[in-house]
Amino acid sequence: MRGPHNIIRLIRTGATLERTGAMNVVLDAFEAPALLRFVAHALGKPFQWLGYKGDPAMPPATRALTALGPAYIKFGQVLSTRPDVVGDDLAQQLRVLQDKLPPFSIEQAKAEVARELGRPVVEMFSEFDDSIAAASIAQVHRARLAETGQLVAVKVLRPGIERAFRKDVDAFYFAARIVDLFAPGARRLRPMEVIEHFDGVVRGELDLRLESSAASEFAANTKDDEGFQLPPIIWNLSARRVMTLGWADGANLGDNAALDAAGHDRRALAERVLKLFLLHALRDGYFHADMHQGNLKVAANGDIIAYDFGIMGHIDEYTRRVYAEILFGFIRRDYRRVAEVHFEAGYVPADKDVDEFARALRAVGEPIFGMDATQISMGRLLSYLFEVTERFGMETRTELILLQRTMVVVEGVARSLNPHTNIWEVARPVVEDYIKQSIGPRAVIGDLTKTARVLARFGPRLPGLVEAALVRQASEPERPRRSSWATLIATGAGGIAIGAGLMLMIDALT
């Protein structure tokens, strides 16, 4: 880590924050202590003339980050998914960050494609147009395959973007260490955790092979979903810095006039985009976490097309079941059950009072249910829920924060298509179906089957494990051995019981 380089960049950052009026906005959002505020202003105020002016029409934080360049824009976008860290107000402000930047030349793009794929562009593409979209990390070109004539989109990383991001991320780590030094008690800041999260997101987006892989996995999960399609990845023309995929032809989901002109049913589209998101989050545990109108189109046949897979969300199976039960409890207004689920999952410390927690949850749910159904926001409810659980000692779960943020975006998309969309009416059948599939008798059989498979896989090793345990017992000094033998017996008995239970259930079903 190069000190002089980072100090200079930190001074330029502080100067820009001061010049744009964003410094106090950021410090307030992070609830920065007095000493950290003093250091931040000391690095910024004397050098305001070094700061970038930015666009005065933008809100302060957005103005500052846009002026500071691609890495800061991306950092702001990532922070917008973490209201638990920056607060709701700043997160809302950062959500409008646009990373539309001037494109690099088509000659540079072609040179990058040829270098990465190892072939001249004219051999691969009969047409290769100017950039149609330029963002902070990459830009997209419309092209046509030389062999088949198929229209494709070619995504190309900006030249030198990896080095530029490494320098800025290096400076971010340096700033995080300063925060740690001058605010050791400010646990809410969690600076290193925030930068590590950002670093991981950026590393993923700087390797387009990972985005291609994400798109491929998402396509495999959703291939049978009615009314939904993804552009296929063309693997032989994709690499670390280049990704080629089929062209998504259709009307933008945010253009109501174009949708109406094409004869699409906006009410049906609003319901479908909600159902698809919930289906992917609950059924697959793998969802598109950037489902705004700019990443969604409607094909001529009415199918919703999703693209841009740089940010994907993942939720493990256990968490999905917990989330579904919580959601279903709120739908039924069964606050006691919602409270019990939090305790059963270990989200809330066991020493807290279940009834008191249930009453706090009622205070979250009832005001929302007192509103007109078309105005109830599931994303808002989840946001309120996280506030309550934090008061009861629940640790922040990043995957649920991303889920809540995406839910807010998807709700916005649905209501832009049809302002009278009843979020809960649309969600109920999806959640109920998942509950039946994942918590009922069928789910128990599935869990036992998975357990039996694991036991079967370790079956050949069992004699060796038993022999090793016996040798270890014989070589140890004389002492009570009840716990070791009890563990061994319990393990064997547990395996026998699971196997027997599984056989009985299968026998009963057949």
- Apex 1 CA angle, 64 and 41, nearest 5: 35
Question: Based on the number of CB atoms within 10 Å of its own CB, is 421 exposed (0-12), middle (13-18) or buried (19 or more)?
Answer: buried
Separation between Cα atoms, residue 380 and residue 374, nearest integer Å: 13
- Token pair for residue 198? 């950002």
Question: Based on the number of CB atoms within 10 Å of its own CB, is 196 exposed (0-12), middle (13-18) or buried (19 or more)?
Answer: middle
At 311, the amino acid letter reads I
List C-alpha distances in Å: 300 to 105, 261, 263, 464: 32, 11, 9, 62
- Tell me the Ramachandran region of residue 132: left when phi exceeds 0, alpha when psi lies from -120 to 50, beta otherwise: alpha
Task: For the sheet with 228-229, list strands across it.
Answer: 228-229, 304-306, 296-298, 251-252
Separation between Cα atoms, residue 96 and residue 115, nearest integer Å: 35
- The SS3 of residue 424 is helix
| Catalytically annotated residue among 290, 351, 353, 433 | 290
180 is catalytic: no
Tokens 């589209």 belong to 269
Q: For 397, which DSSP code?
A: -
β-pairing verdict for 228-229 and 242-246: unpaired
Question: Based on the number of CB atoms within 10 Å of its own CB, is 429 exposed (0-12), middle (13-18) or buried (19 or more)?
Answer: exposed
- Please name the residues in contact with 329: beta carbons below 8 A apart, sequence gap of 6 or more: 335, 337, 338, 341
Query: Which residues are catalytically annotated?
Result: 290
